[in-house]
Chains A and B, each alone.
Chain A
Amino acid sequence: AQSVAQPEDQVNVAEGNPLTVKCTYSVSGNPYLFWYVQYPNRGLQFLLKYITGDNLVKGSYGFEAEFNKSQTSFHLKKPSALVSDSALYFCAVRDGNSGYALNFGKGTSLLVTP
């Protein structure tokens, strides 16, 4: 079984400040972890992934995420938030050994204020 928890329904941050969106996961095999962003009335856009290698992964639009095996976390970060980053963010996991379908968290709404 696999699952993802995004403990915050909403994250508020001022423009220019660093942001963190939290994600913890549970998976029986090797974790493949992903972050997606969804703008209103749009599909999901792929931001970044972790499958192996360096724990810090960099993705689109200046986002990065840190894989922490001991804490089973994969938090999304950005050093300086933009108003245009305001959107819904989803963390997802699949079992790298045997899975293919993504199991998504419930999403975190990020609001960046000017």
Chain B
Amino acid sequence: GAGVSQSPSNKVTEKGKDVELRCDPISGHTALYWYRQSLGQGLEFLIYFQGNSAPDKSGLPSDRFSAERTGGSVSTLTIQRTQQEDSAVYLCASSLGRTSGRPEQFFGPGTRLTVL
């Protein structure tokens, strides 16, 4: 597609349930990022994938959060045993590789997660 796509656009879940958020990056982009946007914390980096390298998970807030990227393309962010403080907009971004000279990241529309 022309841009980064994310699904679902909205997700309402009950505390303690698991959720999966999906990201489809721009074709040809080898780097993929997950961020979280919330009123209290602003925009926070969560995790970074570059090609086939091991991901940088340094931004994940707890071990309830995990992500994978299959075939170097689509990524899934999983939150287990959701808590109310997980409520936020989860943004996915993609970019060309580090040696491209094009470091700008392009963002998807986000998934708004509400944990009741």
Which of B65-73, B79-87, B98-106 binds A?
A: B98-106
B residues 1-60 touching A (CB-CB < 8 Å)? 4, 31, 33, 35, 42-43, 45, 48, 50, 56, 59
Whether A102 contacts B105 in the complex (CB less than 8 A), given A43-B91, A44-B91, comes out as yes
The chain B residue with its CB closest to the CB of A107 is: B42
Is B110 in contact with A103, judged by CB distance below 8 angstroms?
no
User: Is A67 in the interface zone, CB < 8 Å from B?
Assistant: no
Is B104 in contact with A49, judged by CB distance below 8 angstroms?
yes
The one of A43, A51, A100 in contact with B109, judged by C-beta atoms closer than 8 angstroms, is: A43
The chain B residue with its CB closest to the CB of A46 is: B104
- Interface size class on chain B is 20 to 34
Number of A-B contacts (CB under 8 A): 50
Whether A42 contacts B109 in the complex (CB less than 8 A), given A101-B33, A103-B45, A104-B42, comes out as yes
State the Cβ distance, B31 to closest chain A Cβ, in Å.
Answer: 7
Is A43 in contact with B110, judged by CB distance below 8 angstroms?
yes
A105 contacts across to B, CB distance below 8 A: 42
A47-77, CB under 8 A of B: which get 1 and which 0?
Answer: 0010100000000000000000000000000
User: Is A78 in the interface zone, CB < 8 Å from B?
Assistant: no
Is B59 in contact with A101, judged by CB distance below 8 angstroms?
yes
Tally chain A residues at the interface, Cβ within 8 Å.
21
In the assembly, what is the distance between CA of A105 and CA of B93, in Å? Answer: 17
User: Is A22 in the interface zone, CB < 8 Å from B?
Assistant: no
Is A49 in contact with B43, judged by CB distance below 8 angstroms?
no
A residues 69-114 touching B (CB-CB < 8 Å)? 90, 94, 96, 100-107
Is B98 in contact with A100, judged by CB distance below 8 angstroms?
yes
Is B104 in contact with A45, judged by CB distance below 8 angstroms?
no
B residues in contact (CB < 8 Å) with A:
4, 31, 33, 35, 42-43, 45, 48, 50, 56, 59, 91, 93, 98, 101, 103-110
